[in-house]
Amino acid sequence: MVKDNCLGAAVLGFDFDHALFTDRQLEEILRGVEHLIYTTISHDPGLSYRKLRVVVPLSRPISVSEHERLMAYYAWEFEKLNRGGLDESTLKAERKFYMPHAQADVKWVKKRKQPLNVDRLLLKIPKVALVQAPQPHDLVELINGQQPTTNNNNGLIVKINGIIDSMTAGDRSHKATRVGGMMRHLDADQRDQVWQRMRQKGVDDAALRSARKYAES
């Protein structure tokens, strides 16, 4: 359960402690993707909700960073459904354990469905508002009660550098996206300095592309 020991993932695993959605609603979110759905060992058939695990095969193995982005996307999708969100403690690749146990029922949804096309979905993710997207106070930074201009960005740059310096292996992607939202207030030379600083901090190319999307939008 240590991130540095996790190389990536070959499947996605969704855990729900209070699932109120139907199997049909789940299929609509997965949109033609093959999946295994089963109730976990702590499920109680007498309750009005289900405790579920959903396992989704992938078109290829993914990195830890790609896993973070994909899980953030689906957490956002289930949040919109408002019928029981993902268990936040199980969103990380290193936290995944799949026991072959079904308390009440199990269903393998395969017919006319395919493994999740990872590359096609990753192209879409930077274009939507993910759970790790910049917050409003990041997008419009106030310095002494004023929105910064290109002539007065010192306070904003200090905050951006502080976020970059605080990056760890576990939150580089999330913080890089926050920085991207704040960079829209900077001029070209200042942006170049931020990109260089993030690269030195070890931010991967996928996270940098996502941050650039917010910086330029």
The residues spanned by each domain of the chain are 3-127, 136-216
DSSP 146: B
pLDDT value at residue 127: 59
The pLDDT assigned to 100 comes to: 52
Low-confidence ranges of the chain (pLDDT < 70): 1, 96-105, 126-153, 217
* Residue keyed to tokens 């917010």: 214
Residue type, 121: L
CB-side neighbour CA atoms (13 Å) of 46: 0
Q: Which two tokens stand for residue 155?
A: 């306070």
Neighbouring residues of 159: CB distance < 8 A, sequence distance ≥ 6: 141, 182
| CA dihedral for 44, 106, 68, 26, sign (positive or negative) | negative
- The Cα 45–Cα 32 span in angstroms is 28
Residue 129: what pLDDT?
52
Instruction: Say if CB 156 and CB 139 are below 8 A apart.
Output: no
- Topology of domain 3-127 in CATH is Alpha-Beta Plaits (3.30.70)
pLDDT of residue 101: 54
Q: What percent of the chain has pLDDT over 90?
A: 21
pLDDT for position 144: 47
At residue 194, the pLDDT reads 93
Q: How far apart are CA 76 and CA 63, in angstroms?
A: 20
pLDDT tens digits, 124-170: 776 555 555 444 444 444 444 454 454 456 778 888 988 999 988 87
Element (H, E) at 66: helix 64-81
